[in-house]
Structure 1
Amino acid sequence: MSVTEPLFDGAALSADSPLPLYMQLARHLKRLISDGTLAVEDALPAERDLAEGFAVSRVTVRKAVQALVDEGLLHQRPRAGTFVAKAPHVEQPLSALTGFSEDMRSRGLEPSSRWLSRTVAPASPEEAMVLGLALGEKVSRLWRLRLADEAPMAIELSVVPARILPDPLLVTGSLYDVLRGLGYPPHRALQRLSAGLLNPDQAGILHVPEGTPALFIERRSFLENGRPLEFVRSQYRGDAYDFIVELNLNAPPNP
């Protein structure tokens, strides 16, 4: 299948940007692959058509395409053309407690968020039980879309006792950085993963088709003294995220 629209976005490249034009073009194509506009096995227009559509040289197009071929996002077939290979993929080890922002930066990706809501409200019965709160005690709820290099990766709802995080507007980037600054550093966590399918609302937020496989994650984080700190429910794109666990054999008993 060949894709031409909305490939040619006039605002995608700017002569005022410090990035070279080929890097801007590569970033634009990568974004279209990430959000599903360019699907796996979609064919890119010919080099000449891309150059004319973006008003750049064919050398610029060639360098942008080669950069994405080197990343494994595009592949070329002799006498057939250039095709989308896959979306950006992230692997996260489960051996360390890190926040989304820290994890993305460690992989050379730029984390960002789009806020869906930030509120303070009485805890639900489930939240009160998990966080060890009295019924009616308030919590800060942070619901956001998490992105890596502007690609939607996960929907995340974090719930923190309001006595620890009284104002959710304090969080503009990493929640864990804010909690550390307030004197409540996360120490350990229990995390449960399960497989599922995205419902229409979740799929719409993540820009993928309804029913796309996803990783559903529930995490409870604790302070060093064992007090509950955070309750999180997330939905991660199954096509873009893997969780890796390292297993070690127990040492054999002494004879």
Structure 2
Amino acid sequence: MTIDSSSKKPMHLQIREDLLQKIRSGFYKENQLIPKEIELAESYGVSRPTIRQSIQALVNEGYLQRKKRKGTIVQRRKINQEFTHIIESYTTEMDRKGLDPKTTVMAFKTEPASEEVAENLEIKEGENVQKLIRLRFAQEDPIVLVTTYLPAKQLKDLMDVDFSKQQLYSALAKQGYPVRSVKRKLEVLKAGETVGALLDIDADDPIFYFHTIGYSDQHIPVEYSISKYRGDLNSFVFEISNTTQDNP
């Protein structure tokens, strides 16, 4: 690439854009070392500090990773999940990020509620719930395994819904139980063999483990979900507001 010295855009930004284009096009492939700073400086006709600034920007954005005694490699970029502070379907969020979402329904059946499920749905233990297990993808990568429990007494016609295509919250709204608020708890655990195989990771790799309760009008719980996200492909955004008038 020839740097346009007449451009108002700084050279380090022009180089960043060129490197990013090469990463996205596959010219620099995942886990591949990019050329050394001195080689890039000669190629672009700029100083090493300028190259270092371009590379650092891509490191900060998650496209590159510096490895001690090795160099700088192209890394698989994590998907920034924002559901921690907004209520939005997985499909809608992936579409908004320009990723191709896909859902595989692993199971959908009726079973008695366990003590944990009953407590979170505020129903009696042993009362029937509908158990929905979905494996969700972005592009071709499995991203999250979601097990959802729904109170069968309130929601009678969901067994006919194709949840590989239909969004859960949309289906709940059609039943007269739109999800108005959610409560989530996050843990970081190790993947077991079954979850690891489904998510295409090794057993004992870290996973983000979310418990979610979805509430409808009058704060009625209509969903209890356990979501297991791959640790290597996901990061999460938490938005926190200062509710006090004075700054800390």
Query: TM-score normalised to the size of structure 1?
Result: 0.65
Alpha carbons of structure 1 residues 160 and 197: separation in structure 2 relative to 1, 3 Å: same
1:132 aligns with 2:125: no
The one-letter amino acid of 1:168's match is M
For structure 1, the residue ranges without an aligned partner over 5 or more in a row are 1-25, 30-37, 44-68, 76-82
SS of 1:214's equivalent in the other structure is: strand
Partner residue in 1 for 2:76: 87
Contact 2:182 2:212 in 1 (8 A): yes
1:183 aligns with 2:176: yes
1:172 aligns with 2:161: no
Query: TM-score normalised to the size of structure 2?
Result: 0.66
Supply the distance in 2 between the matched residues of 1:117 and 1:162 (Cα, whole angstroms). Answer: 16
State the shift of 1:243 in Å.
1.1
State the number of aligned residues: 186
Supply the distance in 2 between the matched residues of 1:183 and 1:85 (Cα, whole angstroms). Answer: 47
For structure 2, the residue ranges without an aligned partner over 5 or more in a row are 1-23, 34-57, 66-71
What do the CA deviations read for 1:226-249 (whole angstroms, capped 9, x no partner)?
A: 111100111101111111112233
State the shift of 1:188 in Å.
0.4
Partner residue in 2 for 1:14: none
State the shift of 1:157 in Å.
0.1
Percent identity between the two aligned chains: 24
The one-letter amino acid of 1:210's match is A
Alpha carbons of structure 1 residues 130 and 98: separation in structure 2 relative to 1, 3 Å: same
Alpha carbons of structure 1 residues 238 and 227: separation in structure 2 relative to 1, 3 Å: same
Q: Compare CA radii of gyration and give the structure with the larger one.
A: 2
Cα root mean square deviation, aligned: 2.8
Contact 2:145 2:229 in 1 (8 A): yes
1:201 aligns with 2:201: no
Structure 2 matches for 1:20-99, cutoff 5 A?
41=31, 85-93=74-82, 94-99=84-89
Supply the distance in 2 between the matched residues of 1:246 and 1:202 (Cα, whole angstroms). Answer: 29
SS of 2:110's equivalent in the other structure is: strand
Task: Judge which range, 157-166 or 210-219, deviates more.
Answer: 157-166
State the shift of 1:72 in Å.
7.5
State the shift of 1:164 in Å.
3.3
State the shift of 1:119 in Å.
0.6
